[in-house]
Amino acid sequence: MSLRVGLIQTRTPATHAAALAHVAPLVREAIGQGAQFVLTPECTNVVQKDRAKLLPALTSLEDDPVVNGLRAIAAETGTWIDVGSALVTRPDGDGRAANRQVVIDPAGAIVATYDKLHMFDVDLPTGETARESAAYQPGDAAVVVDTPLAKFGLSICYDMRFPALHRALALAGATVLTVPAAFTRPTGEAHWEVLLRARAIETGSFVMAAAQGGFHEDGRGTWGRSIVVGPWGEIIAQLDHDEPGVLMADLDLPSALSARAAIPALQNARPFAGP
């Protein structure tokens, strides 16, 4: 069984209206090329690094204009669309948002969501700091979406550095892992491809990584280089730039099971005592 997928690489603007105008034509282009499942990047609905500007501009998932615009395209075209992530408000009112992946079925209904589990919080020797958790409430559950196309395991950007999450997704039956991202340029150049290939090899899974790319209105620089990796670690398709565009790939889904049979690491792992 072959699955034709489309990955959307964007340079998302700083407002919802501009973001929808940017991503919608690319999604339609992928569908026009036969995509049965379309994945967009992290922060598909807005990129704004100034939290004082970002947080007041966000809406609930139900009211987000970019998500609703993509739901309309899914229903119009009968296509599965995975919004790699939308930054949305949360109902508990603690002031932080959610970085949320949203899977939309061909009827335009939201059938699954996943909130990014791992927050990038760091104090660098240079004195620079980053506190993703100051703006976003992390999720607390892994998510596998069982569709008529395949079982998809959801993760977002920094999650790719945590092998245990992707192992859990594979053990739960996922054969395709979605890893939408807005990877920084220095870490992207150093780690992007090797981490994604490692997650594919470790789990015997396809990995789809749709990315933000280039320099955004808010001054942020992202790596681009969207990529699809096969379960043997082979690169199936890849963009070699950071410009907006569409990456198409055909996934031979049974090859994931063949890879897992050849190297049964998921089954061979054993518990062990700590050092």
Report yes or no: 241 and 227 within 8 Å, Cβ to Cβ.
Answer: no
Asked if 230 and 236 touch (Cβ cutoff 8 Å), the reply is yes
Name the 3-class secondary structure at 60. Answer: coil
Q: Which one of the listed residues 29, 62, 76, 116 is annotated catalytic? A: 116
Name the token pair of 243.
């410009």
Active site residue 116: yes
Active-site pick, 157, 202, 217, 234: 157
Is residue 43 part of the annotated active site? The answer reads no
42 among known catalytic residues: yes
- How many helices (DSSP H) and strands (DSSP E) are in the chain? 7, 16
Active-site option among 42, 62, 189, 202 = 42
Instruction: Please say whether the beta carbons of 179 and 208 come within 8 A.
Output: yes
How many CA atoms, within 13 angstroms, populate the side-chain half-sphere of residue 145?
23
3-state secondary structure 107-146: CCCEEEEEECCCCCEEECCCCCEEEHHHCECCCCCCCEEE
Q: Which residues are catalytic?
A: 42, 116, 157
